[in-house]
Amino acid sequence: MSGVLSNSALSELPTPLLGTVLAVQANFYQVKLDPSLKEDLTNKSPLLTPHSPLPTLLCTRRTRLKKIGQRVMVGDRVVIEEPDWVGGRGAIADVLPRKTQLDRPPIANAEQILLVFALAEPLLDPYPLSRFLVKAESTNLQVSLCLNKSDLVTEEQRKDWQQRLKNWGYKPIFISVYHSTGLEELSDLLNHKITVLAGLSGVGKSSLINQLAPDVNLRVGEVSGKLNRGRHTTRHVELFELPKGGLLADTPGFNQPDLDCEPTELVYYFPEAQQRLAVANCQFSNCLHRDEPNCVVRGDWERYEHYLDFLEEAIARQERLNQQADPESSLKAKTKGKGQTQYEPKLETKKYRRRSRRTQQQELEELYEDSEDS
């Protein structure tokens, strides 16, 4: 248990208590008490000040929640019973309704996603950036973009990326963790919100968190010289408290987020395509915006080729799901290189099954009876 609260003050806290799950480790949950308790505690204990940190309890989950299949996620607002102030422990008795829920990464009640990419080391690649943006847009959370290592590129390069991303529908925040520039603007964006931090490995996410929340002191990795990729330093999801209020969720870095949306939904995750649809509608209501006549989306915009690639991936995924739902299908999916999927006819194979001893015994008895009759 962290903080400078006296045991007498803690004993006067109301029960049950409300808190927020900051981390999940095996069957234990780190829960931060609700800030609404701060005023009550300050009035009850002369040792407390408005700046005194509230304690964090190491909690277990009630068996009842496990029986009903109630999952406890990072970011959940929970009810705590029977707190042990000396040992800093408690038990989660209930989970309050979630406002939002992400399954990958597993975070509840997040309000926005902050994508962090680097302009250099590793060099910013439009294709994976576009993929991350589409994945972030599919969550229906507010999406913001932060470009780190801006000190490693020229002013002209920054302006080119700024205009390019403006055409995509985004206004990036340029920062340099090394020189501590742009962090104040970014901090204002994160205040009093639960923000999910995501991006490629090696772009400086851990270093950024260490700047925004100095008490965290995360381990920082380096970019691999051979692959020009970052090494994974975050292994699990955890919420970190920001000094000015708000929580920041660090997620494990990954290189290619899965696109698990419906083919007809994909177009709505491209802001530039939404602008075209806001002006006019396509001729067909189920238009996939490829070869259909009178399509208002198809045209000369930079990420249209990205859209077509992601669309093929979404269609292949939908076909796989349809095939799984139809076990009598005569086709089977076979994965090729570069994530491509090819469907081939299933081969008819004869099933061989060893006969049971009972069947063999019955056959011997029948054979013996036939020989007796003859």
Q: What is the structure's pLDDT at 154?
A: 95
Pairing of strands 247-250, 194-198: parallel
Provide the token pair at 229: 């990729």
In this predicted model, what pLDDT tens digit does every residue of 241-286 receive, in sequence order?
A: 898 888 998 876 555 788 889 999 999 999 999 999 999 999 998 9
Q: What is the pLDDT of residue 214?
A: 78
Place of tokens 């996410």: 205
Query: Which residues lie across from 116 on neighbouring strands?
Result: 146
365 pLDDT higher than 60:
yes
Residue 227 vs residue 172, higher pLDDT: 172
Least Cα distance to 198 among 120, 145, 273 occurs for 145
CA distance 315 to 308: 10
- Mean confidence (pLDDT) of the chain: 82
State percent of the chain over pLDDT 90: 50
pLDDT grade for 188, boundaries at 50, 70 and 90: very high
CB 81 within 8 A of CB 14: no
CA distances from 85 to 17, 58, 78, 82, 223 (A): 12, 10, 18, 9, 43
Calculate mean pLDDT across residues 210-226. 63
> Which segment of 21-25, 67-71, 367-371 scores lowest on mean pLDDT?
367-371
Report how far apart, in Å, the C-alpha atoms of 103 and of each of 173, 193, 362 are: 27, 19, 55
Q: Which domains does the chain have, with CATH numbers?
A: 7-97 (2.40.50.140), 103-250 (3.40.50.300), 266-345 (no CATH)
| Closest by Cα among 251, 263, 241, 250 to 316 | 263
Q: Distance (Å, rounded) from C-alpha 78 to C-alpha 289?
A: 45
Segment 123-149 mean pLDDT: 94
The answer to whether the beta carbons of residues 202 and 221 sit under 8 Å apart is yes
pLDDT at 160 over 70: yes
24 vs 4, higher pLDDT: 24
Between 198 and 219, name the one with better pLDDT: 198
- Of 175-184, 264-273, 318-327, 362-371, the range with the lowest mean pLDDT is 362-371
Residue located via tokens 């995924």:
317
Reduce the DSSP state of residue 62 to 3 states and report it.
coil
334 has a pLDDT exceeding 80:
no
Q: Given the structure tokens 């407390």, which residue do they identify?
A: 48
Q: What single-letter amino acid sits at 365?
A: E
Which H or E element spans position 138? none
Per residue in 278-313, pLDDT (tens digit) is 999 999 989 999 999 999 999 889 999 999 999 999
pLDDT at 47 over 70: no
- Pairing status of strand 112-118 against strand 142-148: parallel
What are the CA-CA distances from residue 14 to residues 4, 10, 33, 93, 221 (Å)?
18, 9, 12, 15, 43
Residues whose CB is less than 8 angstroms from the CB of residue 1 and which lie 6 or more positions away in sequence, other chains included: 55, 56, 57, 58, 85, 87, 88
Question: To 10 degrees, what angle do helices 155-168 and 271-279 make?
Answer: 40
How far is Cα 2 from Cα 24, in angstroms, rounded to an integer?
Answer: 17
| The total number of residues written for the chain in this structure | 374
215 falls in which pLDDT band (50, 70, 90)?
confident
Q: Look at residue 26 in the predicted model and tell me its pLDDT.
A: 83
The CA distances from residue 58 to 10, 250, 261, in Å, are 15, 20, 37
DSSP string for residues in 219-284 = ----B-TTT--BPP---S-EEEE-TTS-EEEE----SS------TTTGGGG-HHHHHHHHH---SS
How far apart are the C-alpha atoms of 125 and 300, rounded to whole Å?
20
The reported pLDDT for the residue numbered 1 is 45
Q: Is the pLDDT of residue 79 over 70?
A: yes
pLDDT digits (tens, 9 = 90+) for 94-127: 999 999 999 878 899 999 999 999 999 889 999 9
Residue 94 has a pLDDT of: 95
Q: What is the pTM of this model?
A: 0.75
CA distance 164 to 186: 20
User: Residue 3 has what pLDDT?
Assistant: 47
